[in-house]
Amino acid sequence: MNTNTKWWQKSVIYEVYPRSFKDSNGDGIGDLAGLVSKLDYIQSLGVDAIWLGPVFKSPQDDNGYDISDYQDIDPLFGNLEDMKTLLREANARDIRIIVDMVLNHTSDEHPWFVEAKSGRDNPKHDWYVWRDGEPGCPPNEMRSCFGGSAWEYVPELGQYYLHQYSVKQPDLNWDNPEVRQALFDMMNWWADQGAGGFRLDVIDSVAKEPDKMITAEGTNLHKYIKEMSAAVFQGRDLVVVGECWSATPETAKLWSNPDGSELSMVFQFEHIVLDQQPGKDKWDLAPLPMAKLKKVIAKWQQELNGKGWNSLFWENHDVPRIVSRWGNDKEYREKSAKMLATILFGLQGTPYIFQGQELGMTNACYELEEYRDIEIRNIAAERLAEGYTMESIMESIHAKGRDNARTPMQWNAGENAGFTTGEPWLKINPNYTEINVEAQEADPHSVLNYYRYLVALRKREDVFVDGDYQEILTEREDVIAYSRDNGSRKLTVVTNFTGETVDFPAEILENAGEPELCNYSDWPVDGKLRPYEARMYLK
Ligand code: NOJ
């Protein structure tokens, strides 16, 4: 193994969405004390760090991605003492806490914005992005990611402010050096409290140029990120992951330059947005184009090798459950959940497990009124007004709505899945009686125990970190197979991405070395792969 390997390159990260993880006080919302009570479980997965979704003070318009105080905890989740307990207890288990930093925008209830809005002459006015205008005539056509215009009029000022997300999430003006300094000071404070790293929310949007309709990769973006790195990250042993929807392999090499001048790694979505109609948004569904998925995986693997670092993920709190999306959440739920895990964990990068993914949790299929997410509510209203049928709107929400991944964690088959003693803030997926931690702990062949094996395997073998990537059977759309080679070890990963038995050349397996892992109980080499079969070999 290369002596320059960083700890986070050998790590696996577990994402906790705090309000859905574990409630300790019966208010139906997960909290910090609940999370602390489940740290032994997280440790048992073998992961090295927790990406903790935002727990800061917030009106919760976008479940905490609208922060009104970066240095305090929202009472829903506890208080600063609880956060210190979490940091201490996690560190005692060798688990670092990655704090979710929302730096592109604040809540409109943040004192900075309240001041900014109080008058054009207020010193904080320029901390946000304003344009003069007349009511009903926004500066341009920019759209909010949650639907509608990205501009909101403030009559007292005769000005519009920019919000790339909800009206309650005004964009900060990063071109003002005071804004950058205030954010860097705050991040240094969190690092001093013992944070092990940061996840930077939509960080590629901070250097926006709204007059040119530029949101991502603005002219000054990498200058500002380098400034942040020098002010906060350098000289500290942090992991910093940037959520970058716009990243290409070229820009990812800047973001995750091994010289450490920007961040540790990118979190990019090129594979995740494939099942939508080209040029449309995620709600305009299309079948997953397998040939494209394979190309995208190969491209990122090959282009970043030695030049940058990627996050490996199928799920997070913004995207649906992978087993429902690209696997089969009915008769092959366990097999396909394991198959998808095998593909992901064989690749180069840092794998992320989103809470419940390790159980093969599935999408929820609720009535519109049962969802809580602002994005779901907005898109439903917008599309109804545009004349879409309710049926097509619900089909899109069932496939892509963010609440699919946000249903409470399924701990056991008891009341409310062991998540809360109160009324859960979002309905629990009724399949919790079958799919839950307790049941899977007891089953050596569960999805949960398969994930544990994969995490341990990655720790054991350096080839996961530094092996190069060779695709096998490039033209086939029913299998994903590849090898990774670091000169001393060779890993071969072979998967059937379908619910049918498919042909697979026996000689590839005969030459692949020792069988290491399979999601079936035997390993025949008979020129076939069974439905959703996945194998790993090491030589
Ligand atoms: C990305 C976050 O992951 C998402 O949940 C949030 O709504 C937006 N950024 C806005 O902060």
Give tens-digit pLDDT for 120-150: 999 999 999 999 999 999 999 999 999 899 9
Task: Quickly state the pLDDT bin for 449 (edges 50, 70, 90).
Answer: very high
Cα(301)–Cα(249) distance, rounded to whole angstroms? 9
> According to the model, what pLDDT value does residue 211 have?
97
Q: What is the pLDDT of residues 407-424, one digit of tens each?
A: 999 999 999 999 999 999
Query: Separation of 201 CA from ligand 1 center, angstroms?
Result: 6
Cα radius of gyration (the chain): 23
- Closest ligand 1 atom number to CA of residue 66: 11
> According to the model, what pLDDT value does residue 4 have?
82
Which of the following is catalytic: 66, 204, 243, 403?
243
- Closest ligand 1 atom number to CA of residue 243: 1
Q: Do β-strands 159-162 and 151-154 pair in parallel, antiparallel, or remain unpaired?
A: antiparallel
Whether 42 and 22 have beta carbons less than 8 Å apart is answered as no
For the chain, the farthest-separated pair of C-alpha atoms sits apart, in whole angstroms, at 77
pLDDT, average across residues 313-339: 98
Question: Which are the contacts of 21, defined by CB distance < 8 A and separation ≥ 6?
Answer: 30, 34, 35, 38, 355, 408, 409
Q: What is the pLDDT of residues 356-378, one digit of tens each?
A: 999 999 999 999 999 999 999 99
Task: Quickly state the pLDDT bin for 1 (edges 50, 70, 90).
Answer: low
Query: Separation of 52 CA from ligand 1 center, angstroms?
Result: 13
Query: Residue 79: is its pLDDT beyond 60?
Result: yes
Indicate yes or no: pTM above 0.85: yes
Q: 61, 98, 318: which to mutate for ligand 1, most atoms within 8 A of CB?
A: 318
Whether 133 and 159 have beta carbons less than 8 Å apart is answered as yes
Strand order in the sheet with 239-243: 265-267, 239-243, 197-200, 96-101, 49-52, 13-16, 350-354, 311-312
Task: Quickly state the pLDDT bin for 447 (edges 50, 70, 90).
Answer: very high
Cα(215)–Cα(384) distance, rounded to whole angstroms? 27
Query: Separation of 73 CA from ligand 1 center, angstroms?
Result: 18
**201 has catalytic annotation:** yes
Q: 58, 102, 144, 204: which to mutate for ligand 1, most atoms within 8 A of CB?
A: 102
pLDDT, average across residues 437-465: 98
Which of the following is catalytic: 48, 171, 201, 461?
201
- Closest ligand 1 atom number to CA of residue 65: 11
Ligand 1 neighbours by CB, cut-off 6 Å: 62, 65, 102, 165, 201-202, 243, 317-318
> According to the model, what pLDDT value does residue 2 have?
63
